[in-house]
Structure 1
Amino acid sequence: MNRSNEGTPDRSIVSGSDFLHMAIDEAPSGGKSEWLAQQIRLALADRRLPVGSRLPATRVLAGELGVSRGVVTEAYQRLVEDGYVAGRGRNGTIVVSAPATTTAAKPPTPASPSSRRSVFTTEPGADVFDAIRTTRARIDFSPGLPDLAAFPRAAWLRAERLVLDRLATSDLGYGDPRGTPALRMAIANWIARNRGIRAVPDEILIVAGTAQTLTLVGQVLRGDGISTVAIEDPGSLGARQHLHNCQLDTPPVAVDSEGIRVDELRATGAAAVFLTPAHQFPTGVVLRGSRRSELTHWASKSGGLIIEDDYDAEHRYDRPPVPALRSMLADSVFYAGSVSKLLAPALRIGWILAPPKYRDGLVDAKRFADLGNATLPQLVLAHFMESGALERQLRHLRRQHRRRRDTMVKAVAAHLPGAIVHGAAAGLHLTITFEAGFADTDVAAAALARDVKVHPLSWHCQLPRKPGLVLGYAATPTTDISEGVATLGEVLRRMS
């Protein structure tokens, strides 16, 4: 699912007058730039300068301190090289990360299920997380971002006009909370053709994307006495946060080259598990047939439930996608799909197929959540699916994404020679890992200071892992991909 773009940073100007109450007279005569940079580092470390704040203009601060502008410019450049601040043109110089505090470093661990706070709110590295999450960058390799410029505006507008022309007055009222019959029929046909799932419209519930799927499923599972949903490791941070928000524990289960370790899943004692089997996020592994058989055995013997996030299964470039788990285990699988990666997240349209036991409970939860999705976009999407327009869009995206993925793989080979590329030729991202002993969060912070945004692999891990990066390519032109990966190479060389 997923998987990140919330909010914008607080960029209020830090006043140049009495900035940090610094006394320039304390600076050594020949080292004023380093003294100034160190004073700002200390302010970053003790949070007097929070991530997202803006430093005074070099001219303003130089005037306040009574030094040359070159002293301030050099100090700021040292902070840029450290990865703590980044120049943002007219927006000034922005704090994008902070030095580690005296607290001993440790990998991020999830908050307790009773907590509503972010997984990273109180952990070391929280400032890096917030900076990367909220700061825009010229080259954005965030995973899960589709190419919004590829949205078929003209075709969508034609479909919308056609739907409005044919719309009955009664269709403008409150509809079925499960979704419009037209869209549920179109989805039944779509998943039969593309995912090997046999379903009738009455089995399908329309939701506002995979995020709402997790909220509703979490609600009905809690109501059934289930308090634990195991999650792949590495696995989607966003999914983990949504499950925590439903007051569910998420014990990690390791993923290897064949997919989730079912023996380790069994050892957790969890009654349910969240999976991305067609193209595992973030490793890109496709769940092997032997593991599918083990999952079937686990579900049938223990009554275990599977939440299957089929978030980008259609985006396969070298062979047809593997069938969905739902096609094998209809009575054990909550199947989640959406058009966020095919069209745009802004549509907020997805779907759930639930095991029969939970179907009515999910419909009730959806009804009380929002009375159902907006009708007009559902009808337009139904026409889009049945007319063949969505198939044409998928074919176009596959060609484009394959070119961009190939470009990124070549750029990684050229500029990151020690990196190992993981996963199948599929999806909207790839993951790379390194043997070197550095913190991938430091790499991400330094890259952001150079206007390149990436996800550290450690964000998506609860278990110890080699450092790595998760790189989305779907929304980035090939020239920017090459430039961005080259910048990552420069960052790593500076750190070595």
Structure 2
Amino acid sequence: MESWATFGGDLHLDLTAGRARGLGLRAALEDALRGAVRTGRLPAGTRLPSSRELSRDLGIARNTVAEAYSQLSAEGWLASRQGSGTVVAERGTPTAPGPAALPPRTPAVRHDLMPGRPDLSRFPRSAWLAAARRALATAPHEAFGYTDPRGRIELRRALAGYLARVRGVRTDPERLLVCAGYTQGLGLLCEVLREQGAATVAVEEFGLPPQQEVITAKGLATVPLPLDAAGARTDLLAGTGAGAAVLTPAHQFPTGVPLRAGRRAAAVAWAREAGALLVEDDYDGEFRYDRQPVGAMQALDPERVVYAGTASKSLAPGLRLGWLALPADLVGPVVRRKELADGQCGVVDQLTLAELIASGAYDRHVRRSRLQYRRRRDRLVEVLAQRAPEVRVTGMAAGLHAVLELPPGSLGEDELLRHAQWLGLSLNTLGWCRTPSDRPPADRPPTLVIGYGTPPDHLFEAALEALCTLVRL
């Protein structure tokens, strides 16, 4: 009987170690229970099986279990409660040793002004729930199985129409790939580029460091393109030796400038002549305020430009839904990489987004959000003009962030970040966005990159107050 009476139900009590040391059954059971409590595997308050249940699970006499419980209760490891049976006692909970010296206490973040993040309280819960109900009611049974790695055809059809109408993208459902956000899409493209012989990717001089990390993690080097008032210097691409370039034509992150028409044409001409690829990150393409819509660069040459979009800012990053409009010759290789990565994205969210777009609810949500974010942007400009007129504010014609250039003599960027921490502010600096380069950084005034999308409405004024305190230090 002892050969199989090793584990006690869900408690997973191993009696073999105690038995190997010559302990009797009761002593081995007591030893196993002490060990489970001592290590925290059975935390204080855990209700133990009755003696009848545990004896049946272990295949030993009920009296043996009852005597073990009684002994451990006397030692303070267990406690018997009227009507609740036997539980792990508080005094039996292990106490982890504290650190020799606690680090200085850091104030909690009260105001999130990190760029590129939406106001999550604006997620259209009611519209999403209604769309999910309609989508689930009409979805075919096969939708919930292993489906096309490119994504559900319902979403790809909806996206093809939406992107053509709103962003001028030239594609069709067969050339669209649904992925787990822009990060995954960029990673898949980099894998294919490396497989096809590329070694270097040109990127903008300032951008999001996580994207640089994705490129280098896939085994590709990066070379920075300088930026000016017309956007990235695409006229310099020919001298980079790159096999691809990643650009943010609609609203460069973080400077906010759009890529001028001549620079777009130069990038496409380079891609054609060099047999290279352009990746268009449509950063902030849907949130524009003071100018006419800037169409997607992809329309200039769909066979040389990959269009990359996402629902991370229009809806929420937690959905992990993005898309790539691919050149015909890249569909097969990229889809294969997606299939190897995770097979497919979550079907229910895809069906829901497709229904949200098809019903017009997505357009209505984007319009409402655009209006709300514009009000916030205008309020930010107003408050800074009143409280800190010496601060130069730029990069706000679109998107969810602004660039704040502080006057000469202000604190350095590292020191500003330390003070921001103590003010409960979370934000970033232009230096954080700089692409690694062999060239020394240009001499420039301290500059903050702050997002105005994240704080909920009731905390927005308090966030602006804390920001004004920081820039006036």
For each residue in 1:407-432, what CA deviation from the matched residue of structure 2 results, as whole angstroms up to 9, or x when unmatched? Answer: 11122223333322222421111112
How far, CA to CA, are the matches of 1:492 and 1:149 in structure 2? 27
AA aligned to 2:408 is A
Match of residue 212 from structure 1? 184
How far, CA to CA, are the matches of 1:247 and 1:325 in structure 2? 27
How far, CA to CA, are the matches of 1:14 and 1:263 in structure 2? 61
Say if 1:195 and 1:324, in contact at 8 Å, map to a contact too: yes
**TM value normalised by structure 2:** 0.75
For each residue in 1:432-472, what CA deviation from the matched residue of structure 2 results, as whole angstroms up to 9, or x when unmatched? Answer: 22342643122122111110111111011136142211111
Say if 1:419 and 1:434, in contact at 8 Å, map to a contact too: yes
CA RMSD of the aligned region, Å?
2.0
Aligned with residue 173 of structure 1, among 137, 145, 161:
145
Aligned with residue 431 of structure 2, among 441, 458, 464:
458
Which has the larger Rg?
A: 2
Is residue 448 from structure 1 mapped to residue 421 from structure 2 by the alignment? yes
For each residue in 1:118-137, what CA deviation from the matched residue of structure 2 results, as whole angstroms up to 9, or x when unmatched? Answer: xxxxxxxxxxxxxxxxxxx1
How far, CA to CA, are the matches of 1:296 and 1:492 in structure 2? 41
Aligned with residue 188 of structure 1, among 148, 151, 160:
160
Percent identity of equivalent pairs: 40
The Cα shift of 1:356 comes to 2.2
The Cα shift of 1:339 comes to 0.9
How far, CA to CA, are the matches of 1:376 and 1:491 in structure 2? 44
Say if 2:158 and 2:354, in contact at 8 Å, map to a contact too: yes
**TM value normalised by structure 1:** 0.71
Q: Secondary structure at the match of 1:281?
A: coil
Aligned with residue 470 of structure 1, among 449, 456, 459:
449
AA aligned to 2:319 is L
What does 1:129-140 correspond to in 2, within 5 Å?
137-140=109-112
Say if 1:143 and 1:473, in contact at 8 Å, map to a contact too: yes
Match of residue 332 from structure 1? 304
Say if 2:246 and 2:278, in contact at 8 Å, map to a contact too: yes
Q: Secondary structure at the match of 2:210?
A: helix
The Cα shift of 1:146 comes to 0.8
Q: Secondary structure at the match of 1:385?
A: helix
Match of residue 265 from structure 2? 293
How far, CA to CA, are the matches of 2:396 and 2:153 in structure 1? 36
How far, CA to CA, are the matches of 1:207 and 1:302 in structure 2? 28
The count of corresponding residues between Structure 1 and Structure 2 is 371
Match of residue 106 from structure 2? 86
AA aligned to 1:471 is I
The Cα shift of 1:352 comes to 0.6
How far, CA to CA, are the matches of 1:180 and 1:356 in structure 2? 19
Match of residue 64 from structure 1? none
Match of residue 324 from structure 2? 352
AA aligned to 2:346 is A
How far, CA to CA, are the matches of 1:15 and 1:54 in structure 2? 12
Once the two structures are overlaid, the 10-residue window that deviates more, 278-287 or 229-238, is 229-238
Say if 2:119 and 2:456, in contact at 8 Å, map to a contact too: no
Is residue 322 from structure 1 mapped to residue 301 from structure 2 by the alignment? no
What does 1:35-434 correspond to in 2, within 5 Å?
54-55=103-104, 86-88=106-108, 137-434=109-406
How far, CA to CA, are the matches of 2:245 and 2:219 in structure 1? 15
Q: Secondary structure at the match of 1:487?
A: helix
For each residue in 1:373-403, what CA deviation from the matched residue of structure 2 results, as whole angstroms up to 9, or x when unmatched? Answer: 1111111111100000000001100110000
For each residue in 1:196-246, what CA deviation from the matched residue of structure 2 results, as whole angstroms up to 9, or x when unmatched? Answer: 112110010110110101110010001011111111011221211111111
What does 1:3-14 correspond to in 2, within 5 Å?
none
Give 5+ residue unaligned stretches, structure 2.
1-95
Give 5+ residue unaligned stretches, structure 1.
1-12, 20-52, 56-84, 89-136
AA aligned to 1:432 is L
How far, CA to CA, are the matches of 2:179 and 2:113 in structure 1? 27
Say if 2:202 and 2:224, in contact at 8 Å, map to a contact too: yes
How far, CA to CA, are the matches of 1:457 and 1:195 in structure 2? 28
The Cα shift of 1:347 comes to 1.1
Say if 1:163 and 1:380, in contact at 8 Å, map to a contact too: yes
Say if 1:411 and 1:482, in contact at 8 Å, map to a contact too: no
